Chains A and B, each alone.
Chain A
Amino acid sequence: MAEAVIVEGVAKSFKLANHKTMKKLVVNAAKRQPLSRSFTALEDISFTLEQGDSIGLMGLNGSGKSTLLKLISGVMSPDKGQVLTRGRIAGLIEVGAGFHPDLSGRENIYLNGAILGMTEAEIDNKFDSILDFSEMEKFLDSEVRHYSSGQFMRLAFAVAVHTDCDIFLIDEVLAVGDQPFRKKCMKRILELKAEGRTMVFVSHSPKQVLRICERGLVLESGKMVFEGSAVDAVKKINYEITDEDDD
């Protein structure tokens, strides 16, 4: 086994500029006020995932989970430290970001597939399977703007779970859709896991984390406060296991 994800001493902060206009900038500079404020989203995060590992990222809202996921996916770069990954990355993060309301379901499948890194042949091959998963055949040629939000998510999900990848990232998405569809998604995720993909899972649901992940990492306002087994991580964060996310 080789490493799939290495996160080494990563820090990320965001600068919030105090000036929106040139005038403000000059005024602030003249008054010797700070030109920007800095907000630390992540501090000194380090962990390594071997191939096939699955880790749950837990923490309250604003603790930096999504930022960490964005650093792993490469959308953002860390200010300090480094992130290294091996192989293709895909996942259920921001599904539907590439969808355009004025295009049909079919066109959106192709566009979104290409955005997620699939080739034309790959999408052709998987088209039926994607359609099958989404259960949206009937609306395939109508514009996505006419879809309900649930239907939209189904199609977006269907494309995303069909991307070939080595590392699969999941960001609190299993809360959407009706129960049968959620079950289906969970089943698909467990399939991907069984195939040996590395998983990084962001969730507020201890039950889901325990189901998918062996390992857990708890963030608290940008700092790593726990890294170990998923069971201990759930204990650490002290969430109650409720029945409401019963899928």
Chain B
Amino acid sequence: MSTRLAADSHPSGPLQNPGRVGGLFDVFRRRYLLKLLVRKELRIRYQGSVVGFAWSYVKPAVRFVMYYAIIGLILGPKSLENRALHIFAGMIMVAFFTNALSAGTKSVVKNKSLVRKINLPREMFPVASIMVSVYHMIPMYVIILFGCLLTGWHPDLGALLAGVMALAIVLTWGLGVALLFSALNVFFRDMQNIIDVVQTVITWTVPMIYPFSIIADRFRETSQAVYELYLSSPLCIAVLLNDRAFWVPSVDRPQQAITEELPAHLFQRGLLMIVLGLVFVWIAQAVFARLESRFAEKV
């Protein structure tokens, strides 16, 4: 068979398997469709809502106020300079990731009429859902930059690098999770409940509403394993890097903040997470491609 395929040089192209998938590359080949799907998603989400896109400012703002008021002011385990910025820097990462997780997981099933009827690269759906989540991240960056300028932000090169690395971590891991979970969700609808649980877990296992030093003081010396386990979460590293980018340059003694509130070798850990994230995307894509051939009949 392969000889027949290879020897073919017909103007309409070679004979090929119509269901053959080019995976993520196909998605980028059909950027225009991707753009329209993202635009559709955004249009539909706020359809018939009076406030429209402003909801994407209101929701994080309320969440932020609650964290700040309850944890920061009332329970306040430890005083922390510019606590609001510290919470918000973490929230950007957590909000994006949980968003990517829930929207991404549902993305294929939600588009079941297309999946069942039309042959197009199905990776399109998780990728489009990630792009919608990225779009919703923009207002949060606007807000934090505004907050940074108010508190007197002096970013250095490390801050810039940390911000980019944090973004790279959540983008790669978010895409990987969206690909993997959206495919699994076709076969096991339990996924949607599982991710609710995962969301709760990841919100509390990152140094967002509490400072990192609480974890470090308690576990660094006594139980190394717990400490390393805590730091093995890509989202945790992303939150710490984002703290480095936005919160550290805003405090009076940045150097002290780095030693007290960030783990050692943060940048190396970040780089490792990006590499692992790329590997994860590759694996997730392979699983997706494997399961995809049965999407049409299962979804």
List A residues at the B interface (Cβ < 8 Å).
2-4, 6, 14, 22, 51, 70-77, 82-89, 93-94, 97-98, 100, 102-103, 107, 110-111, 114-117, 119-120, 166
Across the interface, do B117 and A75 meet the contact criterion of CB distance under 8 Å? yes
Q: Closest CB of chain B to A224's CB: distance in Å?
A: 20
New A-B contacts (13) at CB < 8 Å, excluding given A89-B18, A111-B37, A114-B30: A75-B117, A76-B19, A77-B294, A85-B18, A89-B119, A94-B118, A97-B113, A97-B116, A102-B43, A114-B33, A114-B36, A120-B32, A166-B12
| B26-43 contact mask (Cβ, 8 Å, vs A): 1 or 0 | 000010110011001001
| B115-153 contact mask (Cβ, 8 Å, vs A): 1 or 0 | 011111000000000000000000000000000000000
Provide 28 A-B residue pairs closer than 8 Å at the C-beta atoms, listed in order of the A residue: A2-B8, A2-B10, A2-B12, A3-B15, A51-B12, A74-B20, A75-B116, A77-B17, A82-B1, A83-B17, A84-B5, A86-B16, A87-B12, A88-B12, A89-B18, A94-B117, A94-B118, A97-B117, A97-B118, A100-B44, A102-B43, A102-B44, A102-B47, A110-B36, A114-B30, A115-B33, A115-B120, A117-B120
Please indicate the chain B residues that have their CB under 8 angstroms from the CB of A115 in the complex: 33, 114, 118, 120
Complex alpha-carbon distance, A97 and B111, angstroms: 10
Please indicate the chain B residues that have their CB under 8 angstroms from the CB of A93 in the complex: 117
Chain A, Cβ-Cβ closest to B12: A87
Q: Verify if B254 is at the interface (C-beta below 8 Å from A).
A: no
Complex alpha-carbon distance, A89 and B20, angstroms: 13
Complex alpha-carbon distance, A111 and B128, angstroms: 14
Across the interface, do A111 and B40 meet the contact criterion of CB distance under 8 Å? yes
Q: Closest CB of chain B to A64's CB: distance in Å?
A: 13
Across the interface, do B15 and A98 meet the contact criterion of CB distance under 8 Å? no
B: number of interface residues (CB 8 Å): 34
Please indicate the chain A residues that have their CB under 8 angstroms from the CB of B44 in the complex: 100, 102
Please indicate the chain A residues that have their CB under 8 angstroms from the CB of B119 in the complex: 73-75, 89
Complex alpha-carbon distance, A120 and B33, angstroms: 9
Chain A, Cβ-Cβ closest to B48: A102
Q: Closest CB of chain A to B126's CB: distance in Å?
A: 17
Evaluate whether A87 and B120 lie within 8 angstroms (CB atoms) in the complex, with A74-B19, A98-B114, A114-B32 already known.
no
Q: Verify if B221 is at the interface (C-beta below 8 Å from A).
A: no
Please indicate the chain A residues that have their CB under 8 angstroms from the CB of B37 in the complex: 111
Complex alpha-carbon distance, A36 and B114, angstroms: 26
Please indicate the chain A residues that have their CB under 8 angstroms from the CB of B5 in the complex: 84
Q: Verify if B255 is at the interface (C-beta below 8 Å from A).
A: no
Complex alpha-carbon distance, A120 and B47, angstroms: 25
Chain B, Cβ-Cβ closest to A99: B113
Q: Closest CB of chain B to A207's CB: distance in Å?
A: 27
Please indicate the chain B residues that have their CB under 8 angstroms from the CB of A85 in the complex: 15-18
Please indicate the chain B residues that have their CB under 8 angstroms from the CB of A3 in the complex: 15
Complex alpha-carbon distance, A93 and B1, angstroms: 29
| B3-16 contact mask (Cβ, 8 Å, vs A): 1 or 0 | 00100101011111
Across the interface, do B40 and A84 meet the contact criterion of CB distance under 8 Å? no
Complex alpha-carbon distance, A116 and B32, angstroms: 12
